[in-house]
Amino acid sequence: MRQFIVDSYNGVMNAKLNPLRHIPNQDTRNAVMLGLMCMWCVIFAVWTGAMVLLPASIFFHALLLFGLLVTVGTFELAKTKKVK
C-alpha cells in the first residue's frame, strides 16, 4: 500500500516521472504545473465552499419559492373571489 501511494504521488508530482517530462523546456513544464496547481486549488476551494454553503443556499431558495407560491396563490384567490 505504501508503495502504491509513493508511486501515485510521484506519477503526478515528480517532474521526472509524470507525463509532462516530455516537454523539453523546463520553464514551460513549470508553468504548466503551476497552472494545474492553481486549477486544483480553485476546484477544491469551490467544492469545499459549496459543501459548507449548500444548506444555506437550499434554505434561501426554498424561502424564495415559498414567497413566490404564497404571492401567486394570493393573486389567484383574489381573482376568483370578490372581496367586499
Distance (Å, rounded) from C-alpha 84 to C-alpha 73? 19
What is the pLDDT at residue 41? 92
- Residue 27 corresponds to which amino acid? D
Domain limits for position 65:
2-80
Q: What is the pLDDT of residues 19-76, one digit of tens each?
A: 888 888 889 888 998 999 999 999 888 888 888 888 888 899 999 999 999 998 888 8
Q: Say what the pTM is.
A: 0.58
**How many domains does the chain contain in total?**
1
Contact criterion met (CB below 8 Å) for 17 and 11: yes
The residues near 15 (Cβ < 8 Å, ≥ 6 apart) are 21, 29, 30, 33
Distance (Å, rounded) from C-alpha 5 to C-alpha 11? 10
What is the pLDDT at residue 78? 79
